[in-house]
Amino acid sequence: MTTTDTTGRMTRSGNAVLGAVRRATSQVPALGLVALLAIMWMVASFTVPNFASAGNVGNILQQSSDLVVAATGVMFVLLAGGIDLSIGSVYGIGSVVLSGLVLGGVEVFLAILIAVTVAGVAGFVNGVLTHYGRIPSFIMTLGMYYVLFAVAQILSNGQTLNLPPGTVLQTLARGNVAGLPITVIVAVFAAVVAWLLLNRTVFGRRLVSVGLNPEASRLSGIPVGPVIVGAFVLSSLFAGIASVILTARVQSGTPALGGLDSNFEVITAAVVGGTSLFGGRGTVLGVVVGALIIRTIGNCITLLDISPLLYQAVMGSLILIALIVEAIRTRQEVS
């Protein structure tokens, strides 16, 4: 047991195990995750039948692309100290808008642009009402989840919009450029953009600062509002791009493309990737590897013939484990 002082803070005299966990996880977390993924792949290739078969790792990469994009996006909101529970429905609305427009004869690239923009607008509303309306982000985005789901249902009349064969979207899902699947290229591109935004722009610096200490950031002249709104817009834009990838993969637009389990998956990927749920800490590389770890687990669940219905429970457990590790690691000071 750890002892506590009168302010409820864990004291330094906590036991050695906690200290060891903290030390082990505090250094270069992203590289540690890469090592973890490598170990998972090695263990799986010996223990899981067909895991090491030709094409399976390529499959995992391709299947991870949407999750990489969405998790990288939600990282911005987590960095700001919030949470985005609307992603599952952003998938649905993006998918319905995209398919509806394509079926209506709109040029595919324009349709993609419009669908991603619609997603971005949802993020803008999330951000504005969270910061300026002072609505806690989990309520705002949970409300938005139901609103977007309803709008997607109304737009699609509750039906699945099947895309005609032979569109550019089909190429997007199945095509390769220089031997690499297009979706993987999109994911890598999104991750690079996110890395640049976070590490090479004023916005990125301000976002980290706001996440670590909003009050100090405000006092030092950082425009906290626009930074938070920007984080929510990025989260939804990236989710919109992920929904385009998913729509292309299933070749149809459906309001139920995402759902609550998508929320779990995306947030778990970001959190397993070392993004702090207390705000201000997180790396793009970590989140990308986190997404790969999640999809590897999913792949193993399928190959081992374990009930896929357990997937959501596994995601929930991973969030709690990451949360506990994080709490021990940083020993959050209690206000």
Partner 1 sequence: MPSDRSDSLVASRRQGAAAIPILVRIGIVVVLLLAVSLSVPYFASVDNAMGLLAQASIVAVAALGLTLVITTGGIDLSVGGVISLSGLVDVILIGAHVPWGVAILIGMLLGGVIGAVNGALVAFLRVPAFVATFGTLGIAAGLALFIANGRRTTVLPDSMIEFGNGTVLQLPYLVIVAVAVLIVLEVALRVTPWSMRLRATGDNFRVAVLVGVPTRPILIGAYVASGALASLAGGMLTAQLSTAGPQQGEPYTLSAIAACVVGGVDLMGGRGRLWASCLGAIFLAGLGNVMNLEGVQPFIQDLATGVLIVVAVLLSTRGREWVARFGESFRKAGLR
- Tell me how far, at minimum, the Cβ of 4 lies from partner 1, in Å: 9
- Tell me how far, at minimum, the Cβ of 160 lies from partner 1, in Å: 15
Q: Indicate the SS3 state at residue 183.
A: helix
Residue 10 has φ and ψ, to the nearest 5°, of -70, 135
- Tell me how far, at minimum, the Cβ of 330 lies from partner 1, in Å: 10
CA dist 198 and 202 (Å) reads 8
In sequence order, the 6+-apart residues with CB closer than 8 A to the CB of 189 are: none
State which residue, 8 or 165, has the beta carbon closest to partner 1: 8
Do residues 251 and 173 lie in contact, with contact meaning Cβ atoms separated by under 8 Å? Answer: yes
Q: Indicate the SS3 state at residue 318.
A: helix
State which residue, 85 or 248, has the beta carbon closest to partner 1: 85
Do residues 107 and 167 lie in contact, with contact meaning Cβ atoms separated by under 8 Å? Answer: no
State which residue, 6 or 13, has the beta carbon closest to partner 1: 6
Q: Nearest CA to 90 among 105, 106, 73, 78?
A: 73
- Tell me how far, at minimum, the Cβ of 107 lies from partner 1, in Å: 29
**Number of Cβ atoms within 10 Å of the Cβ of 168:** 15
State which residue, 175 or 259, has the beta carbon closest to partner 1: 259
State which residue, 150 or 304, has the beta carbon closest to partner 1: 150
- Tell me how far, at minimum, the Cβ of 83 lies from partner 1, in Å: 6
Please report, as ranges, the residues that interact with partner 1 according to CB under 8 A: 6-8, 80-83, 85, 129-131, 133-140, 142-147, 149-151, 153-154, 158, 210-211, 213-214, 218, 224, 228, 260, 264, 267-268, 277-279, 307, 309-317, 319-320, 323-324, 326-328, 332, 334-335
Would you state the structure tokens that stand for residue 63, as one six-digit string? 């299947």
